[in-house]
């Protein structure tokens, strides 16, 4: 049986993957961890250590516990940076990797790409910061979804799905600067990755996610780049059947 680890984005927790898990092939054993400081559970501390380093260590420990057998790992958004960090540090733990829409500028080398990324990032996340400052963490969650999935994205979701994401609202201040800065993973760092990697983004996604996704795929030797028609950053939430099919195809063909 194939073993697959699914890493959620921010906000969220491991339970958000259930609609996708339900649609994956029967021969896939799926592990859906919740990263520290996400979800509704109690925190071990004040959260000031939130960031790539802490979540990298958490993922390494999880993978080390899998009986010495490398796992396939797929990540969405925030956790793609964590996965890349593990691929650089402990490639022996991962048999193949799937990254849906990385979203940081540390991978970029081209000045024009950096300028375009930063402009769209400001347009996307300034309203999130304003919502957090003026109305609190739950309002910031809604603003983040609307920035990534289009105006009204969050309110159109079923209530039970909104509850999953709102359970992680407490981490929004950490995500928006209260935790640790993201690891400075550069294109040079990515060039050392030897694991088979697939990077995907939606054809209708924001420019920042397309720019970052293309940069990651360009930097990793032999990486495959997939463009998903009629999809945006919220594909795993909006179209679980489509995302599950992407994962099934990747599990069969890569690595």
Residue ranges of domains in the chain: 2-109+180-253
| Buried b or exposed e, range 214-239, using 16+ CB within 10 angstroms | bbbbbbbeebeebebeebbbbbbbbb
Cα 200 to chain centroid distance, Å, stands at 11
Can you tell me the distance from the alpha carbon of 75 to that of 77, in angstroms, rounded to the nearest whole number? 7
Q: Cα–Cα distances in Å, from 189 out to 14, 192, 232?
A: 28, 6, 27
How is residue 50 written in tokens?
A: 């939130």
This model's pTM is above 0.95 = yes
pLDDT band at 66 (very low <50, low <70, confident <90, very high): confident
Q: Is 186 left (phi over 0), alpha (psi -120 to 50) or beta?
A: beta
Instruction: Tell me the average pLDDT of the chain.
Output: 97
pLDDT tens, position by position, 184-227: 999 999 999 999 999 999 999 999 999 999 999 999 999 999 99
Contact 23, 244 (CB under 8 A): yes
Residue 68 has pLDDT above 80, yes or no: no
What is the model's pLDDT at position 189? 99
pLDDT band at 254 (very low <50, low <70, confident <90, very high): low
What is the model's pLDDT at position 1? 77
pLDDT band at 103 (very low <50, low <70, confident <90, very high): very high
Can you tell me the distance from the alpha carbon of 157 to that of 107, in angstroms, rounded to the nearest whole number? 32
Can you tell me the distance from the alpha carbon of 126 to that of 154, in angstroms, rounded to the nearest whole number? 17
Mean pLDDT computed over 129-136 = 98
Residue 255 has pLDDT above 80, yes or no: no
Contact 225, 98 (CB under 8 A): no
Residue 74 has pLDDT above 90, yes or no: yes
Can you tell me the distance from the alpha carbon of 240 to that of 59, in angstroms, rounded to the nearest whole number? 24
pLDDT tens, position by position, 35-52: 999 999 999 999 999 999
DSSP letter for 181, please. Answer: P
Q: Cα–Cα distances in Å, from 36 out to 44, 71, 121, 166?
A: 8, 20, 25, 16
pLDDT band at 253 (very low <50, low <70, confident <90, very high): confident
The topology under which CATH files domain 2-109+180-253 is Rossmann fold (3.40.50)
């Amino acid at each position: 049986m194939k073993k697959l680890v699914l890493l959620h984005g921010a906000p969220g927790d491991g339970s958000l993957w259930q609609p996708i898990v339900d649609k994956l092939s029967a021969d896939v054993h799926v592990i859906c961890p919740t990263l520290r400081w996400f979800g509704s559970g109690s925190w071990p501390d004040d959260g000031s250590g939130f960031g790539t380093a802490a979540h990298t260590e958490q993922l390494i420990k999880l993978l080390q516990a899998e009986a010495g057998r490398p796992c396939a790992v797929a990540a969405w958004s925030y956790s793609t940076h964590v996965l890349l960090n593990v691929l650089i540090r402990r490639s022996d733990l991962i048999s193949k990797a799937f990254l849906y829409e990385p979203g940081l500028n540390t991978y970029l080398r081209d000045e024009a790409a950096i300028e375009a990324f930063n402009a769209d990032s400001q347009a996307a996340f300034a309203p999130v910061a304003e919502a957090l400052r003026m109305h609190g963490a739950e309002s910031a969650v809604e603003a983040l979804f609307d920035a990534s999935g289009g105006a009204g994205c969050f309110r159109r979701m079923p209530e039970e799905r909104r509850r999953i994401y709102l359970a992680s609202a407490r981490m929004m201040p950490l995500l928006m600067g209260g935790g640790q800065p993201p690891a400075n993973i550069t294109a040079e760092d990515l060039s050392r990755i030897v694991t088979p990697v697939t990077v995907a983004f939606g054809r209708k996604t924001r420019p920042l996610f397309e720019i970052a996704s293309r940069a990651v795929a360009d930097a990793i030797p032999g990486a495959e780049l997939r463009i998903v028609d009629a999809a945006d950053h919220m594909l795993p939430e909006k179209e679980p059947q489509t995302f599950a099919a992407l994962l099934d195809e990747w599990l069969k063909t890569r690595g």
